Amino acid sequence: MAGLSLYDTVVPTLVKGLTSFDHVLTQAEKFAKEKGQDADSFVQARLVEDQLPLAFQVQNATKAVQVAIGRLTGAEPAFFENNEKTIADLHKRIQKTLDELKAVDAAAVNARAGTEVDLLIPWAGTTHKVPVEQAVLTHNYPNFYFHLTTGYSILRAKGVPLGKRDFLESFLGF
């Protein structure tokens, strides 16, 4: 049995993660409608005062995906503006990122396996040359999941009745 390709390891997982984030936002909209609340009030919601809001979590989850796309393809990411004000804006941002991710060519990604890329460690002020697989699996994935989980937790703290199923179901694919 052949191993997983670089494309198969990364791209479908990020698609599923973005789909999960989109689902969680949809659940927040349903909750707000049922409670007669404005779903857009969640966009600036935070877990604690000194943590960044839901909009930032979506922005940075999608940015982590765009950085991964850049590493996988060798193209410079074209980042989106961070100007989302509504849940609908957050959905659109996720959809645009999904569209970019789904347009990635599998053969081109697989041809870059083993290629060294720059991995910036901002808090240390250092940059390291590492294989693309290492950069994506040890930097992009954790960063992406951090923001996905934080976004989920913000909505959960605001009373949105989310469960583990809401987080994981998109990853399972059935």
Q: How confident is the model at residue 3 (pLDDT cuts 50, 70, 90)?
A: confident
The dihedral through the CA atoms of 168, 138, 114, 104 has a sign that is: positive
Mean pLDDT of 105-116: 96
pLDDT > 70: percent of the chain: 98
Measured in whole angstroms, the distance separating CA 161 from the mean position of its chain's CA atoms is 21
Q: Looking at residue 1, what is its pLDDT?
A: 43
pLDDT-derived band of residue 2, with 50, 70 and 90 as boundaries? low
- In this prediction, residue 174 carries a pLDDT of 66
Residues 138-172 pLDDT 10s: 999 999 999 999 999 999 999 999 999 999 999 99
Using CA atoms, how far residue 121 sits from 14, 56, 127, 131, in Å, is 22, 20, 6, 15
Which tokens belong to 161?
A: 């009745």
* Domains, the chain, ordered by start: 6-35+42-172 (1.20.120.450)
pLDDT for 19 beyond 70: yes
Buried b (16+ CB within 10 A) or exposed e, 91-104: bebbeebbebbeeb
Residues 6 or more apart from 1 whose CB is under 8 A from it? none
**CB half-sphere exposure, 108, CA atoms < 13 A:** 11
